[in-house]
Amino acid sequence: MKYPLTREQHLELYYYMRLNRQLEEQMVRLFRQNKIIGGLYSSSGQEAISVGTAYALEKRDWVAPMIRNLGALLVKGFRPRDIFTQHMARYTSPTKGKDGTSHFGSLKEHHVVAPISMLGDLIPVMTGVAMAGRYLGQEIVALTWIGDGGSSTGAFHEGMGLAASQRAPLVCVIENNQWAYSTPVSRQVPVRNLVERAKAYGVAGYIVDGNDANAVYQTTKEAVERCRAGHGPVIIEAKTHRMKGHAQHDAAEYVPKEMVEYWKARDPIARYERFLTQNKLWNAKIKEEIDTRIEKEIREDQEFAENSPFPPPELAEEGVYCEGPLPNEAEWLRPIEEVMPPKAGAKPAWTVKDFGGLEHPTPEVVAESSSDGTAAAAQKAERASKRTKKVAKARAAALSRGRR
Amino acid sequence: MAQVTFLEAIRQALFEEMERDPTVICLGEDIGVYGGAFKVTQGLLERFGWERVIETPIAETAIIGAACGMSYLGLRPVAEMQFIDFIGCCFNQITNFVAKSNYRWGAPVPMVVRGPSGGGVHGGPFHSANPEAYFVHTPGLKVVYPSTPYDAKGLLKSAIRDNNPVLFFEHKFLYRRIKEEIPDGDYTVPLGKAIVRREGRDLTIVTYAAMMHTSLEAAELLSKEGVEAEVIDLRTLLPLDRETIVQSVRKTNKLMVVHEDTKTGGMAGEIAAVVCEDAFEDLDGPILRVTSLDTPVPYAPSLEERFLPSVNDVVRTARELAKY
Amino acid sequence: MPIEVIMPQMGESIFEGTITKWLKKPGDRVERDEPLFEISTDKVDAEIPAPSSGVLKEIKIGEGQTVPIQTVVAVIDADGAVTTAPPAPAKPAAPAAPAPAAAPPKTAAPVIPAPTAVPPAPVRPTGEKIRSSPLVRRMAREHNVDLATVPGTGAGGRISKKDIQVVIERGGARPAMAPAPSVPGAPGTQAHVVLENAVPREKIYFGRYEVQPMTTMRQRIAEHMVISKRVSPHVYSIEEVDMTNIVAVREKLRGEFERKHETKLTFMPFFVRACVEGLRAFPTVNASVDGNNVVLHRDINMGFAVALEWGLIVPVIKGAEEKNFLGIQRAINDLAERARTKKLKPEEVQESTFAITNPGVFGGLMGLPVINQPNVAILGLGAIQKRPVVINDAIAIRSMVYLTLSYDHRVVDGAVSHQFLGRVKHILENWDENIL
């Protein structure tokens, strides 16, 4: 491993993944007892991604979780009680009951940006966070996640475009869990590896087995270091599978049974347990300690949440505007003179190195439409390519005739 | 004191705020070397450099989203929409991410979205928008629409210093046509306060932006007929200065609203409802509206002229109201 | 302590669920979070865990049943104390959450002024609505100006602010008028006819005068008279009746009658009995009109007018055709007495089918009474006077009375009215009933 972890760190990774899973399982029970209202999402099977990526960040770095990144929130420092109270709409929740599910954040303490329900919008926002952090000299990295489905949105595209053109220190983790609600990824995008888009944006791209927590950690750590060093944004595609439905109300019967079995055998937590055992990083006693600790935390925090009051009705009228000072004043970690005149300032003129023309005969096929796997389609593409080359040849000939 | 155009006043505000506060940053399309499509940001790059005058790709959602993210770290970004019409492209970011941020999770967004708006310049349907109604209807935002150079400068400064997201519409018809002497040095105009531009006792005209000037013109003509109109310039549309409007209605007992936005669902309806709530017993006549037609903005000058409210439209409606 | 187990909501658009299987039965021990029952919904089937530990006390909804969400499906006898959400705090306390507290709302709802009691829209004497504006009405209220008296020079005759200001400024030069007529009748009573003036109000007040507001009874009488005349085209038939015989009968039997029956003997029952016969013979006169229907009443409810110090009332003898002379007399005396002492019941002044009035009791040759709605006729009795009449070409002194039948010419024609009167006359002039 390029970035070796201590035993404690390995155990911590495991602890967070287990806490993630058990917390969510408990929330399912609470949902079925009608104590959690609205909708409930789960990251079952994807814990290694949330935990592994977040674990590779430093405390000063910023994240923006999506609905299946509860594990990252735990790594960042939120407690199960925060998750419980959010889902149970209690006054003690991080949003005082104003919003639900994973729509909460923390500007000063945990550096977490709260998501909205629309997908892709976090990419430009985290690009802004990354740019601001750089501007203030904070040397932070902004990291967010997006699903295979969410990466179809315009917001994703615009955000990556801006991040790339600004070389923003942004890490975007595409969690390809094979399903966007009920749509398999092949129907969303005719590209097998979504990370191929990195090339289109001119940014670095990594691909990793999302159910291997160690691999996820290593990959993210490398990506984060690149960003921090100023090499621009990184897209990491983590392959995984959504083991449950889109939400509690979705039984996901559209997922073929064989696919579920395939991925069940690759469950991230079971895998990590085997890793810990094989590398003698733990024993039965340590496992039991972790189990007990998790069970106690969940039980105590659930009790706290259940004993918490609902927000008072008057709260509905409050908070539309910020009436007082900013809670998050800018933290300057570089001399302000650098961004003020006379030190700041640039010549308002362009230096254009590449005038942009093509120096060789056209047309040139640089990309083929992706085949859908059948031989017929592949042959069709082959014939089209031959035709294009034939036309090009004839045109070149005509051109040279005309010149004479 | 110096005579400056509407556009100049806005540029001065940007300059002075960026000078005063290193957290103020501009982002938008072509705002750097080119100085902006209307040259509002000319000179900023030279003075403050690439880190503070950020040229973006054509990606309105990304512009607004990035500005929002920057706000979370305590910066005060000023995002430009090259034409305010393009605000439609980032409607989701503004109304769902930015506007709801403080209410939901206590994270204020101290950013400004500014751009050239309004018609009368043969811009056609996509370069002449008055989009205030969509955003006045969105809790969490503030909407500002000045009509004079003095106000434009003072209000933009206030908008930048405000800890909430402010949409700042600059009526492009006024950019170079309106000149005014403004004082040297730092001054601000508070958000949320309307101003009486002309005192009168027979009827009240509530208006803003370019139509403020049209209304003043109409008031002069009406005066010759013995009708003295009081003209109120709203300046800020959200939050609305109900108090000033109501006080005027208590005095004149007659109200009409003049705006360039289309009629249905526009500010005039909102103001009429407010006055019915707060001052019904002071009304001696119906509340009338003078607005553009309920159509997209047409291109041909003859069509656009018909579309926009004219001085005559204002005078005619005022005469009707005066008869009551 | 009993804990209710409810049907959960498994998704935002799901509103009911079906219990497919109970995994425990009443009396079984259950542990918290242990699967307790299975459900099926539109979107998903699920295993539902028990909300607390204890003994399953009762199953309320059985397998196969579908119930709305939140329905109590079972009850668990829980062990020990169970946590429930405490009520929301009365004042928002500062929580330990990292989110910054928001300041009190700037955008509080604006104060909407409490609705002031708005008087009903004023009406000009011609019945036309007065057009003004909220401002003008308020000024009128504040300065006690009657808008009906303010000339309007605004568009379409509206009273503008200018117009009312003129009136207010003139102030004391106006004569004090009674307050503007309000719509009579308190809220909750039947709609009444609005009493109109025939001339503008200014023309009524001149010189010295005293204003007396009408009593409710007087208002009702006034309204009734106006509407009766307006609705029924009144035509009058007059007949002269020789009452000599009846006068003699009365003279002769009065003492014995009053002794025997302990009630006064008047002329009224003679007329009532005669009318009853007349109405039996000519049922059209005992009718009402409903639009273009004639409602022939089968009962004869005889109303008779009683003059009171403070007005006029018409008590009704119900079922007069079933009463004999004595019965009629008793009814008349009783109702009249109670009319004067204000002891009549509401049903005793309702549902008449015909009426008799006696203007002659005050002197006066004859009267032309107003029909008591919804009847179609009323008989007016003049005074019984001795007059010289011609009988068999000789002059005789007889007790005579003029009878006037006012009738509604929508349904009663002249011929019928004369026939009716003729009948009544005949009975009266040939009185043969034993009154004792």
Same domain membership, residue B286 and residue B227: yes
Of C8, C100, C104, the CB nearest to A33: C8
The answer to the question of residue B53 being in a domain is yes
The answer to the question of residue B187 being in a domain is no
Q: What is the pLDDT of residues A156-196, one digit of tens each?
A: 999 999 999 999 999 999 999 999 888 899 888 888 899 99
Active site residue C413: yes
Percent of the residues in chain B that have a pLDDT greater than 90, as a whole number:
98
Q: Where are the alpha helices (DSSP H) in A144-212?
A: 154-166, 185-188, 197-201
Which residues in chain C have Cβ-Cβ distances shorter than 8 Å to B242? Answer: 110
Domain housing A355: 336-388
Same domain membership, residue A267 and residue A138: yes
Whether A32 and chain C come into contact, CB under 8 Å, resolves to yes
Comparing CA positions, the residue from B119, B147, B148 lying closest to residue B131 is: B119
The answer to the question of residue A298 being in a domain is yes
Q: DSSP secondary structure string, B152-180?
A: HHHHHHHHHHSSS-EEEEEEGGGTTT-EE
Comparing CA positions, the residue from A54, A51, A56 lying closest to residue A19 is: A51
The answer to the question of residue A396 being in a domain is no
The answer to the question of residue B71 being in a domain is yes
Mean pLDDT for chain B overall: 96
pLDDT of residue C97: 38
Residue of C nearest to B273 (CA): C112
Same domain membership, residue A233 and residue A371: no
Q: What is the pLDDT of residues C280-296, one digit of tens each?
A: 999 999 999 998 899 99
C184 has a pLDDT exceeding 50: no
Same domain membership, residue B204 and residue B172: no
Q: Which segment of B199-208, C302-311, C379-388 scores lowest on mean pLDDT?
A: C302-311
The domain boundary residue, chosen from B156, B182, B208: B182
Percent of the residues in chain B that have a pLDDT greater than 70, as a whole number:
100
Q: Which segment of B134-148, C25-39, C122-136 scores lowest on mean pLDDT?
A: C122-136
Q: What is the mean pLDDT of residues B143-149?
A: 98
Same domain membership, residue B113 and residue B159: yes
User: Do residue C110 and residue B139 have CB atoms under 8 angstroms apart?
Assistant: no
The answer to the question of residue B30 being in a domain is yes
CA dihedral B75, B81, B84, B85 (to 10 degrees): -130
Q: Is C56 left (phi over 0), alpha (psi -120 to 50) or beta?
A: beta
pLDDT of residue C193: 57
The domain boundary residue, chosen from B157, B182, B207: B182
Q: Which two tokens stand for residue C223?
A: 């309204």
Same domain membership, residue A313 and residue A190: yes
Q: Which residues pair with B196 in a beta bridge?
A: B232
Task: Count up the domains in chain B and report the number.
Answer: 2
Q: Would the pTM of this model clear 0.80, i.e. be above it?
A: no
Whether C44 and chain A come into contact, CB under 8 Å, resolves to yes
Which residues in chain C have Cβ-Cβ distances shorter than 8 Å to A251? Answer: 43-45
Whether C89 and chain A come into contact, CB under 8 Å, resolves to yes
The answer to the question of residue A323 being in a domain is no
User: Do residue A158 and residue B60 have CB atoms under 8 angstroms apart?
Assistant: yes
Which residues in chain C have Cβ-Cβ distances shorter than 8 Å to A39? Answer: 11-12
Which residues in chain B have Cβ-Cβ distances shorter than 8 Å to A327? Answer: 106-108
User: Do residue B105 and residue C99 have CB atoms under 8 angstroms apart?
Assistant: yes
pLDDT of residue C333: 95
Whether C88 and chain A come into contact, CB under 8 Å, resolves to yes
Q: DSSP secondary structure string, B203-245?
A: EEEEE-THHHHHHHHHHHHHHHTT--EEEEE--EEES--HHHH
CATH number at residue B106: 3.40.50.970
Catalytic residue among C42, C45, C299, C413: C413
Same domain membership, residue B221 and residue B149: no
Same domain membership, residue B163 and residue B242: no
pLDDT beneath 70, residues of chain A: 371-381, 402-404
User: Which position has the higher pLDDT, C173 or C223?
Assistant: C223
pLDDT of residue C190: 42
pLDDT of residue A160: 97
b (16+ CB within 10 A) / e for C262-290: eeebbbbbbbbbbbbbbbeebebbbbbbe
Same domain membership, residue A363 and residue A242: no
Secondary structure element (H or E) that encloses residue A91, with its range: none
Comparing CA positions, the residue from B35, B3, B1 lying closest to residue B176 is: B3
Q: What is the mean pLDDT of residues C189-198?
A: 62
Query: Residue A62 in contact with residue B107, Cβ under 8 Å?
Result: no
Q: Is C388 left (phi over 0), alpha (psi -120 to 50) or beta?
A: beta
pLDDT of residue C46: 82
User: Do residue B49 and residue A346 have CB atoms under 8 angstroms apart?
Assistant: yes
Q: What is the mean pLDDT of residues C56-62?
A: 93
Domain housing B73: 2-182
Of A114, A123, A154, the CB nearest to B107: A114
Whether C307 and chain A come into contact, CB under 8 Å, resolves to no
**Could you give the ipTM of this predicted complex?**
0.92
Residue of B nearest to C103 (CA): B106
CATH number at residue A47: 3.40.50.970
The domain boundary residue, chosen from B119, B154, B182: B182
C12 has a pLDDT exceeding 80: no
User: How far away is chain B from the Cα of A248, in angstroms, using its nearest Cα?
Assistant: 24
pLDDT of residue C126: 65
pLDDT of residue A371: 59
B28 has a pLDDT exceeding 90: yes
User: Do residue B284 and residue C107 have CB atoms under 8 angstroms apart?
Assistant: no
Same domain membership, residue A308 and residue A216: yes
Same domain membership, residue A343 and residue A309: no
User: Which position has the higher pLDDT, C217 or B70?
Assistant: B70
Which residues in chain B have Cβ-Cβ distances shorter than 8 Å to C107? Answer: 139, 239
Same domain membership, residue A311 and residue A340: no
pLDDT of residue C70: 87
Same domain membership, residue B204 and residue B173: no
User: Do residue C154 and residue B323 have CB atoms under 8 angstroms apart?
Assistant: yes
C115 has a pLDDT exceeding 50: no
C122 has a pLDDT exceeding 80: no
